[in-house]
């Protein structure tokens, strides 16, 4: 009965759009976190046994029957707690410095490669302005029932401070909403390349192979995590954070504001076309997963990249060398 | 020096806080140190007593941080590298979404859970004693900060998720430096809450606080954003007697009182597991549980240690409610805050050992990280008897402060019913603090193991 008075097609179209957009956003978010978790699981699972969480492993091992070794201090390997005795504090707590390893090799390529935004950088054009900040603030003021409640509780009758708090935001909101949309605020359709960061497979970190093959000069300590595992850890977290940042950048570019986004999509004219053009442009973000991949790939490649030792070869292959 | 004197009347202090370099310059310094620490933890020496990251984090920073909270409130949070990272992420890719309602409602419980989980993880996986474990913890926190900053407004992480933020919030209530707004000036304000919303002079309060109504240090980081944005100079900064805020908490929250009790349990755990008596306890647990799994036996100890202060506080609340006819939850929430001074004392006393008995490790590891050869030597700055004396003094001071807070809370809430009611209500809690104090003293009498 009432529907005939409504612009049915536009109404249903708008609702459909909202549903599909929110669903798509959720899917993107979910996919991003799944990728991140997968990378984390990969990086943890691929680390060698003597490396990561060696303290945990040693504890488990001892817990399985090794308690005769002497209890908690031993449990806390690889950095055993020095069983404390009162006189030990003042005197000879062994810092273990006598064996300084001048050439302790920390030159591992362990720094996570930060993702680089090139070309149509999703987050480059976003300039935060006081207006935006103010708008966000009032949005919080409008939505933050917690603060508002607190404010009401604490209002001392001097004019309704809580209401001041909220209405101030409302004023700002009205002022802000009059500002024109800018291109990077919108663009819910035609976005591509959101998974660019996952495809940068070429791994040119062959140099890391030397670490994989055991050139770590402090390997003699054999009590801590290996560089490989460290690389994997760093790489895992870099990948997660990179993934989150990319997701955030995409979301920010696509739909920083629900209201604005809808308005832009249903708009017409040159501004709308400009928005569509900007939105359709692919996002070219490249994230190098080298710290994760290189240590795994490098040991495989090492036999093919290292120079052949004639003496060894002769020992194993005999007459061929001769 | 007057306790209520507004420090912002001093032109140097005001200029410093209004400067655009504050707190940015300090943030840059702490962020740079943080990068060095994380690099050392993840890629440096695998042995804790050679690792600069471990020394800087667990021997220097962690013992000093509660002292900073007591003196300057949550000032650390203003210059914390995680906060800086959150700001940067927000600036470049932040979606500026409102903080979800569940986070606002249950944030403090999440903080409680995280704090317990991290402490548990430390003992089961040896985070503190394993540089890499510490590094992984830092990286996990970094990930949380990045996620929070990428999606939510302002410093949602610091206010609703950071476990250290929860701890600092509780400790800062006992802090000596407070930032407030002059409500007389605020009553005539026409700036549309510039302190909250921000203006051309700077952003609004990153901690979602409205200075006009702020009556606690728990969420103020002294970042001075409101000092910059307030056009009327309504913000004041003044010293106050330590613990004063605890006397007059208008809206006590059960979860915050719960955290105060949990911290006491954590202090117990940290102490017990570093004592020589821990081995017999562990052995007894093994025979009791029938398993020698460290994780299982420690978890039982951990739960008991957590349950002791919580249960005892509930017991005291149960006794007190019979006298003051208030509800048990209300009693728990009101008087749970009184444990905070003893929490702080226990926390500082425990870490004082690490700071003073292992302090030179910071210098040694720094020299080694710089490529210099270091002669082996003692890491202690003072002798053990001196440390123990300081620990006893701190515990006594903390217990006295807690007792006084109990008296003030009882007087504040039940004073109208007469002095007898005040004393009767305070008595069970005073007994509770006495028990906690004695337990702490006993724990500090026993010899303790080192971190490095």
Give the pLDDT confidence of A69-120 residue by residue, as tens digits. 322 222 223 333 333 333 333 333 333 333 333 333 333 333 333 333 333 3
Length of chain B: 452
Quote the pLDDT of residue A42: 66
Do residues A153 and A147 lie in contact, with contact meaning Cβ atoms separated by under 8 Å?
no
Q: Is residue B292 within 8 angstroms of chain A, CB to CB?
A: yes
For the segment A202-219, the average pLDDT, to the nearest whole number, is 34
- Are B66 and B172 in contact, with CB atoms under 8 Å apart? no
Give residue-wise pLDDT tens across range B169-223: 989 999 999 999 999 999 999 888 899 988 888 889 999 999 998 989 999 999 9
Chain A residues closer than 8 Å to B286 by CB:
67
- Could you tell me the CA-to-CA distances from B431 to B9, B265, B427, B438 in Å, in that order? 44, 17, 6, 11
Whether residue B353 contacts residue B361, with contact meaning beta carbons closer than 8 Å, is answered with no
Residue A117's SS3 state is strand
Q: What is the torsional sign of CA B348, B351, B356, B362?
A: negative
pLDDT exceeds 50 at position A164 = no
Please give the full DSSP string across B250-268, using - where no structure is assigned.
SS--HHHHHHHHHHHHHHH
> Nearest CA to CA, how far is A303 from chain B (Å)?
26
Instruction: Report the phi/psi class of residue A282: left, alpha or beta, with left for phi > 0 and alpha for psi in -120 to 50.
Output: beta
Under DSSP, is residue B206 helix (H, G, I), strand (E, B) or coil?
A: coil
Name beta bridge partners: B275.
Answer: B448
- Closest by Cβ to B143, choosing from A96, A144, A240: A240
Return the residue in A29, A140, A229 with the most chain B beta carbons within 10 A, the one to mutate for interface testing: A140
Closest CA–CA distance from residue A140 to any residue of chain B (Å): 6
Give the distance from residue A306's alpha carbon to the nearest chain B alpha carbon, in angstroms.
Answer: 25
pLDDT at B293: 84
Please report the pLDDT score of residue A129 as a whole number. 38
Sign of the CA dihedral running B394, B400, B401, B406: positive
**pLDDT computed for residue B411 by the predictor:** 92
Report the distance separating Cα B265 and Cα A138, nearest Å. 40
pLDDT at residue number A125: 33
Prediction pTM value:
0.65
Query: Could you report the per-residue pLDDT of B99-139, keeping only the tens digit for each?
Result: 999 888 888 889 889 988 988 888 888 888 888 888 888 99
pLDDT of residue A258: 47
More confident residue, A25 or A309: A25
For A217-269, the pLDDT digits (tens) are: 333 343 444 566 666 777 778 888 888 888 888 887 765 454 444 444 444 55
The reply to whether residue A84 touches residue B449, judged by beta carbons under 8 angstroms, is: yes
Which pLDDT value is given to residue B289? 83
Residue A17 has pLDDT above 80, yes or no: no
Whole-angstrom distance, CA of residue B346 vs CA of residue B348: 6
> What local confidence, expressed as pLDDT, does residue B30 receive?
94
The gap from C-alpha B94 to its chain's centroid, in whole angstroms, comes to: 27
pLDDT at B444: 83
HSE (CB half, 13 Å, CA atoms) of A221? 25
B92 shares contact with chain A (CB less than 8 Å): yes
Low-confidence ranges of chain B (pLDDT < 70): 1-3, 376, 448-452
Residue to test with chain A: of B47, B206, B225, B371, most A Cβ within 10 A: B47
- Taking residues A120-149, what's their average pLDDT? 39
> Residue B357's pLDDT is what?
84
| Angle (nearest 5°) at CA A245 between A244 and A250 | 100
User: Does the pLDDT value for residue A64 go beyond 60?
Assistant: no
Q: Which of the four pLDDT bands, split at 50, 70 and 90, describes residue A320?
A: very low
Confidence class for position A168, pLDDT limits 50, 70, 90: very low
B290 at A interface, C-beta within 8 A? no
Residues near B58 by beta carbon (within 8 Å), at least 6 away in sequence? B128, B134, B354, B451, B452
Q: What is residue B272's predicted lDDT score, i.e. its pLDDT?
A: 83
Contact B451/A at CB under 8 A: yes
Distance from CA of A174 to the nearest CA of B (A): 13
Q: What stretches of B47-178 show up as alpha helix (H) in DSSP?
A: 52-54, 62-72, 75-79, 81-93, 101-125, 131-151, 156, 163-172
Is the CB of residue A245 less than 8 Å from the CB of residue B150?
yes
Residue of B104, B126, B448 lying closest to A55 (CB–CB): B126
Distance CA B214, CA B387 (A): 38
């Amino acid at each position: 009965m009432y529907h005939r008075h409504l612009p049915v097609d536009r109404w249903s179209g708008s609702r459909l759009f909202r549903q599909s957009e929110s669903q798509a956003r959720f899917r993107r978010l979910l996919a991003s976190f799944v990728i991140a978790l997968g990378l984390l699981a990969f990086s943890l699972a691929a680390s060698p046994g003597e490396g990561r969480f060696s303290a945990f492993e040693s504890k488990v091992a001892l817990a399985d029957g090794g308690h005769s070794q002497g209890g908690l201090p031993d449990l806390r390997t690889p950095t055993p707690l020095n069983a404390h005795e009162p006189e030990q504090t003042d005197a000879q707590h062994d810092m273990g410095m006598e064996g300084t390893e001048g050439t302790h090799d920390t030159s591992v390529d362990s720094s996570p490669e930060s993702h680089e935004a090139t070309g149509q950088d999703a987050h480059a054009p976003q300039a935060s302005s006081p207006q935006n900040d103010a708008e966000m603030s009032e949005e919080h003021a409008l939505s933050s029932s917690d603060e508002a409640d607190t404010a009401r509780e604490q209002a001392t009758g001097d004019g309704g401070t809580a209401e001041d708090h909220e209405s101030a935001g409302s004023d700002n909101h009205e002022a802000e909403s009059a500002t024109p949309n800018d291109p990077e605020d919108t663009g819910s359709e035609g976005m591509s390349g959101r998974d660019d960061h996952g495809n940068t497979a070429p791994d040119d970190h062959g140099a890391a192979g030397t670490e994989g093959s055991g050139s770590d000069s402090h390997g003699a300590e054999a009590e801590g995590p290996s560089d490989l595992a460290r690389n994997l850890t760093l790489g895992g977290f870099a990948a997660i954070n990179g993934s989150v940042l990319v997701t955030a950048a995409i979301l920010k570019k696509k739909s920083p504001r629900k209201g604005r986004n809808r308005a832009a999509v249903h708009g017409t004219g040159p501004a709308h076309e400009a928005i569509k053009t900007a939105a359709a442009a692919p996002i070219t973000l490249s994230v190098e997963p080298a710290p994760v991949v290189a240590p795994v790939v490098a040991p495989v490649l090492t036999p093919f990249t290292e120079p052949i030792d004639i003496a060894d070869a002769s020992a194993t292959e005999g007459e061929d060398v001769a | 020096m007057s306790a209520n004197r507004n420090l912002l009347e001093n032109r140097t202090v005001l200029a410093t806080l209004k400067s655009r370099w504050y707190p940015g310059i300090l943030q840059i310094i702490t962020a740079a140190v943080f990068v060095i620490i994380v690099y050392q933890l993840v890629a440096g020496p695998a042995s804790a007593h050679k690792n600069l990251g471990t020394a800087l984090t667990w021997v220097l920073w962690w013992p000093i941080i509660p002292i900073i909270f007591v003196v300057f409130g949550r000032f650390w949070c203003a210059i914390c590298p995680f906060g800086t990272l959150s700001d940067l992420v927000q600036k470049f890719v932040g979606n500026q979404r409102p903080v979800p309602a569940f986070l606002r409602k249950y944030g403090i419980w999440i903080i409680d859970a995280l704090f317990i989980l991290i402490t548990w993880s430390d003992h089961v996986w040896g985070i503190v004693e394993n540089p890499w474990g510490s590094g992984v913890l830092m990286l996990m926190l970094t990930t949380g900060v990045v996620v929070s900053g990428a999606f939510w407004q302002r410093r949602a992480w610091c206010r609703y998720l950071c476990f250290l933020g929860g701890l600092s919030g509780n400790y800062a209530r006992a802090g000596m430096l407070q930032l407030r707004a002059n409500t007389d000036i605020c009553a005539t304000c026409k700036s549309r809450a510039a302190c909250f919303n921000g203006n051309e002079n700077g952003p609004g309060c990153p901690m979602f606080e409205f200075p006009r109504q702020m009556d606690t240090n728990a969420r103020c980081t002294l970042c001075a954003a409101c000092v910059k944005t307030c056009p009327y100079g309504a913000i004041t900064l003044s010293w106050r007697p330590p613990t004063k805020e605890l006397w007059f908490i208008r809206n006590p929250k059960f979860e915050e009182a719960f955290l105060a009790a949990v911290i006491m349990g954590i202090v117990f755990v940290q102490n017990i597991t570093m004592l020589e008596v821990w081995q017999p306890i562990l052995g007894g647990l093994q025979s009791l549980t029938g398993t020698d799994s460290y994780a299982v036996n420690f978890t039982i100890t951990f739960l008991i240690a957590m349950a002791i202060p919580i249960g005892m506080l509930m017991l005291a609340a149960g006794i007190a409610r019979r006298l003051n006819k208030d509800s048990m939850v209300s009693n728990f929430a009101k008087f749970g805050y009184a444990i905070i001074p003893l929490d702080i004392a226990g926390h500082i006393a425990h870490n004082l050992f690490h700071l003073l008995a292992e302090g030179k490790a910071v210098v040694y590891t720094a020299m080694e990280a710089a490529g210099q050869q270091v002669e082996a030597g003692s890491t202690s700055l003072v002798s053990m008897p001196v440390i123990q004396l300081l620990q006893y003094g701190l515990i006594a001071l903390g217990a006295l402060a807690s007792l006084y807070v109990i008296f003030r809370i009882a007087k504040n809430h039940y004073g109208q019913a007469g002095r007898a009611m005040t004393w009767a209500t305070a008595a069970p809690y005073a007994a509770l603090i006495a028990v906690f104090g004695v337990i702490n003293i006993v724990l500090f009498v026993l010899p303790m193991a080192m971190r490095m």
